[in-house]
Amino acid sequence: EAQVTQNPRYLITVTGKKLTVTCSQNMNHEYMSWYRQDPGLGLRQIYYSMNVEVTDKGDVPEGYKVSRKEKRNFPLILESPSPNQTSLYFCASSIWGGIDYNEQFFGPGTRLTVL
Amino acid sequence: AQKVTQAQTEISVVEKEDVTLDCVYETRDTTYYLFWYKQPPSGELVFLIRRNSFDEQNEISGRYSWNFQKSTSSFNFTITASQVVDSAVYFCALKRGSNYKLTFGKGTLLTVNP
C-alpha cells in the first residue's frame, strides 16, 4: 500500500530533550516536506526537500533541522524542544514533475507536546 | 509573497443544504497551482483537487464542484446537498510555479448538522 508513515504518532517530552520524528514514504517520491498545524494558523511549512541531500527552509524553520540521506526518509529533528513547538506535525511527499506539480500525500500526523 | 485567505473560519449548515467555501489567493506568478484538502475529525489530510493557473475550467466531482476565477483570484469550493460526513476542516493551498513552497490558508471548519 502506497503511504507516508510517521513515528511516533504521539509524543510528550520535556523542554530541551532532543527528539526525532521519522517520516518514510514508499512511493519513490522526490519531494518531501514537513508542516506544523496550529489552531487558527492552518498548516505552515517547516522544511522541504526536492531530492536526496537537497533541502530548504519553509516558512517556520527556526528550532528544527532535517536531513535527506535516503530518498524514502525525511526525519525532523528538534535539538532543544521548547513549549512553543507543541503542535501537530505532518510529513508529506509527492512526485516532483518539474513544471507539472502533483498533489502531496500526507502522513497521519504526530502530535507533539513539549512540557 | 504568496498568501491564501479563507475568510470563513466556521460554517454551520443543516444536512442537504448547499454550502460554498471561499478561497482567495495572492501571487505575482503567472504559473501557479491551487489545491483543496479535507481534514475530517480523524485528523488525516485528504487531497480533493488540484488546479493549474492556465486551466480555468470549473470542475465537478459528484456533489463537489470548484469555481476557479483568475479575474478575482478566487478558487471556491461548493458542496451540493451536504451530508454529515462532509463535516471537516477544509484547506485551500497555493504553490507558486517559481518555487517549491506550498502555502495553506487557515482553514474553514464546516459542520453539517442532521
Is B44 close to A106, i.e. CB distance below 8 A?
yes
Residue type, B19: V
Res A104 pLDDT > 70: yes
Cα–Cα distance list, B95 to A9, A111, B92 (Å) = 27, 26, 11
pLDDT digits 0-9 by tens, A26-57: 999 989 999 999 998 999 999 999 889 999 99
Judged by average pLDDT, the poorest of B46-50, B64-68, B77-81 is: B46-50
pLDDT mean across residues, chain B = 92
Q: How confident is the model at residue A102 (pLDDT cuts 50, 70, 90)?
A: low
Q: Is B73 left (phi over 0), alpha (psi -120 to 50) or beta?
A: left
Q: In the prediction, which pLDDT does B56 show?
A: 82
**pLDDT, position B29:** 87
Residue A112 confidence (pLDDT): 98
Taking any CB pair shorter than 8 Å as contact, residues of chain A touching chain B are 31, 33, 35, 40-45, 48, 50, 56, 58-59, 88, 90, 92, 99, 101-106, 108-109
Nearest CA in chain B to A50: B100
**A103 → closest Cβ in B44, B47, B97:** B47
Q: Residue A56: how many CA atoms within 13 Å on its side-chain side? A: 8
Percent of chain B with pLDDT over 90: 73
User: A47: which chain B residues are within 8 Å (Cβ-Cβ)?
Assistant: none
Residue corresponding to grid cell 471561499: B22
At A5, list the grid cell: 508513515
At A103, is the pLDDT very low, low, confident or very high (cuts 50, 70, 90)?
Answer: confident
The answer to whether the CB atoms of A104 and B102 lie below 8 A apart is: yes
Question: In the numeric block, which cell numbers belong to residue A46?
Answer: 517547516
pLDDT band at A101 (very low <50, low <70, confident <90, very high): low
Name the CA dihedral angle for A29, B56, B63, A94, rounded to a multiple of 10 degrees.
Answer: 10
What's the CA gap between B106 and B114, in Å, rounded? 26
Using a CB-CB cut-off of 8 Å, the residues of chain A touching B35 are 103
More confident residue, B47 or A36: A36
**Cβ contacts of A7 within 8 Å, gap of 6 or more:** A21, A22, A110
- In sequence order, the β-bridge partners of residue A96 are A101
Q: Is the pLDDT confidence value at B33 over 60? A: yes
Q: A59 and B103: CB-CB below 8 Å?
A: yes
Q: How far apart are CA B94 and CA B52, in angstroms?
A: 10
B107 interaction partners in chain A (CB closer than 8 Å)? 42
Residue A98 φ/ψ region, left for φ over 0, alpha for ψ in the -120 to 50 degree band, beta for the rest? left
| Cross-chain Cβ contact B101/A103 below 8 Å | no
Distance CA B67, CA B89 (A): 19
Report pLDDT digits (tens) over A65-95: 999 999 999 999 999 999 999 999 999 998 8
Q: How far is CA A93 from the centre of its chain?
A: 10
**Distance from C-alpha of A111 to C-alpha of B53, rounded to nearest angstrom:** 34
Cβ contact (<8 Å) for B45 and A56?
no
Cα angle value A23/A26/A114 (rounded, 5°): 10
Distance CA B110, CA B87 (A): 5
Residues of B with CB under 8 A from a CB of A: 6, 31, 33, 35, 37, 43-45, 47, 50, 91, 93, 95, 97, 100-107
